[in-house]
Structure 1
């Protein structure tokens, strides 16, 4: 009996390392794009996951890590107010989850769906992906994300980025088993290796780094403008969270909306996001890649996710490992992001299709159209002190339009079936 328990324990440990491997590519990609330290992201992903499982009483097999929904807002906020103020805004964004958790506790899960129906969420998710398209293309072309600086020769950068992109595509489409869940990791490895072979990688920083070191934590500062800018951004990932909780429930055959309850999962995710920001890490979200791994391996034990969190925290303190991550060339990330950001936009389109949102109805057409143009076009409302733009603005506009515009009524002049 004791030997069986020991074997089960080792299986959980190995399965935990496997889960981290699946989540790893997207986990470190987000902080590299936004100027955060990947070692800090590893630490806060582990910390957030542990907080989530404490709040949900170890009932839901999910792993929390970097949320791509916040990339564009973080880039803008960093340029406008600096990283510490951005982190303060992210702490506040995590608090929105707490308010949503309280609302679900008081009024039930249906409240969220009435406030944020698919016609609101779909276009907002599309803006998250399409709004970042230029960043992906710039990086794939050897430029900085904003396109202001050419950091690598264009032809060399294009060769590296295409190798990364094609590898990611092939693994995503043709790989089988667990390997199909790690297309980002495969793309990074191939692109990184090619860049090294072409002499575009300098390992001096890796040689100079020690083996063990404290991650480069950055602590938040609280500025009202940054907080007001970041709070609305949390709307889309909150809805993504609900979808992921339902998805993992469908895989395991359990109703997590009822037990431990959506209010607990939202609370855990929100506390994880705020805790991450307190240490200088990116906001967290539940990972669909991990849901795929759970479905493939049929390992539904939440203890596996706890082991994945422990491994992530451990890797955060290996300085050489962090230096290797920081050395990933921009075109490697750019090539992968051409697919990744497009995939995010497709999720938004699929949200409208799956819920059969009728865009021939004037009300729905107005909500989707204005949301897309405001979000992608760069509309900004406010002044130098407080400004709403991008995802923040289009999220609020979509919600307001949904509340203000009347529901479509049947046309009395329309012919009816006998």
Structure 2
């Protein structure tokens, strides 16, 4: 079994949370593995250590602790060590007590492997997610009682702990939002925290009624939580055929995981499509999407009431000019469309905008984009291409493609006489 499958055997969210705490403990001794089993002894202070072993092939757990739940926190902590810190596990021959456990396992009558249907497994996951949402609501209400300033005073550890708890409860989408709070600087932190907490509480209230939602909206809610739609299921959805232009790309990293967002625009449909890719370490992404490249083919959108994310299984080089660009003449027009989109789906983290005539301006140390009516929007503080915008525009209006998060813009590309260039 994979590490993720082993963790899914946890009886409840509380056991996973306890396992996570033991994962960080310095009391582990004699951590080892032989390819079939992993094992370790947990020091309990002068008494006989707790001996725990896991057969990773079939998901068998054995532990000498008195915990009633199985798998217990010690076994789950060993699985977390295997997945997140394997260097601590020494490959070698098992000690005598592990051999005894292995011998008992071979003598035990073999039972059929878990053959739960997909629906049953998802029902188990939903139960785990329900417990995670319950815990999240308690955290949010506690923050509301204590105040944001008091929460900020606890440092980043409180956000990271809450994020880890959501990950254990199979809510990685929500966990990522809390991890981002841990990386914020002091500028604008209160506003970002307030917005994130508000979005999370809105999710909690929506989750309470997820069984009553229409299918598309329910699937959208699952995506926000971090439930991935399988590729085979996406390919069964009706595709959208068009000539697609690569308008912009964003790359980033979270620990060892690299991610990439690629924005495409359909020539005939004028629909935006977001391709989201991941790669571990320094591995290359599966597909190359050069800026201003055009491709013909069918895109399959993820389910939702306002679908953006999609997959592009068989792109073909366009080989002809693209003639589908049309943007906003003012920020007022942009906001009108953004409000309509937000009314349909309140979970928009990135909203694609193509701005016809904006100028880059620096005012009181803040970077702004200003339209011809004089309206201004701030640029993301970590944007490093301001002087490139200034050099390309020469101070005159220019056409920019950007992501909008409801507060700030992140320019991704600029339209020049030579085509699109990176912002």
Q: Which has the higher strand share?
A: 2
Normalised by the size of structure 2, how large is the TM-score? 0.24
Higher Rg of the two aligned structures: 2
Normalised by the size of structure 1, how large is the TM-score? 0.24
Higher relative contact order (CA 8 A, sep 6+): 1
Q: Which has the higher helix share?
A: 1
